[in-house]
Amino acid sequence: MSTPAKKTILLVDDDREFVAAQRLLLEQAGYRVIVAYDGESGLKSARAEKPDLVILDVIMGDPEAGFEVCRSIRADRSLAHCRLLILTGVGQQFQMAFEPDRLWLPADRLLEKPIDPDTLLAEVAQILDTTDV
């Protein structure tokens, strides 16, 4: 009996310390984790690796980088299976609320930083368990 393949997560964020901590957390939970530190390399990695989930920051140098990557992934047919989780502090930083939508931010879910590790793991498990892709 073979074991199921590890789910692959692409973590895209320009905060290297945050990435290192989240990578360790996710790898210890049994996920294969790929990292990118900007939108352009994140999109390239998504196209090359075809991850099951992309965890994406919104502001990475360019204030719209995360939005652009999110829309590019959704527009790429080869990434149709890929789930998108926006993990950002932009709402607190700018004291505004926003939610995923079909045009501007077509993500599966949006969570605010800082995030409790158990909450992140529960959200990731729930997103990857969803079969209505």
pLDDT of residue 62: 79
d(CA 119, CA 125): 10
Looking at residue 29, the DSSP 8-state letter turns out to be T
For position 21, what pLDDT does the model report?
96
Residue 2 has a pLDDT of 45
What is the C-alpha radius of gyration for the chain, rounded to an integer number of angstroms? Answer: 14
**Model pLDDT, residue 61:** 79
Reported confidence tier of residue 92, pLDDT bands at 50, 70, 90: low
pLDDT, residue 132, reads 43
Total-model pTM: 0.86
Q: Say if CB 91 and CB 121 are below 8 A apart.
A: no
Tokens of 108: 């599966």
- Tell me the residue type at 75: A
Determine contact, residues 66/59, Cβ cutoff 8 Å.
yes
Task: List the one residue out of 55, 59, 61 whose CA is nearest residue 87.
Answer: 55
Residue range 15-68, pLDDT digits in tens: 999 999 999 999 999 999 999 999 999 999 999 999 999 999 988 877 788 889
Residue 74, pLDDT > 60, answer yes
Q: How far apart are CA 85 and CA 5, in angstroms?
A: 21
Pick the CATH number of 8-129 from 3.30.365.10, 3.90.550.10, 2.60.120.10, 3.40.50.2300: 3.40.50.2300
pLDDT per residue as tens digits for the range 96-115:
455 555 655 678 898 988 89
Read off the pLDDT band of 4 (50, 70, 90): low
Alpha-carbon distances of 93 from 36, 104, 112, 113, rounded to whole Å: 22, 19, 10, 10
What is the pLDDT confidence band of residue 3, given thresholds at 50, 70 and 90?
very low
Residue 104 CB-half CA count within 13 A:
7
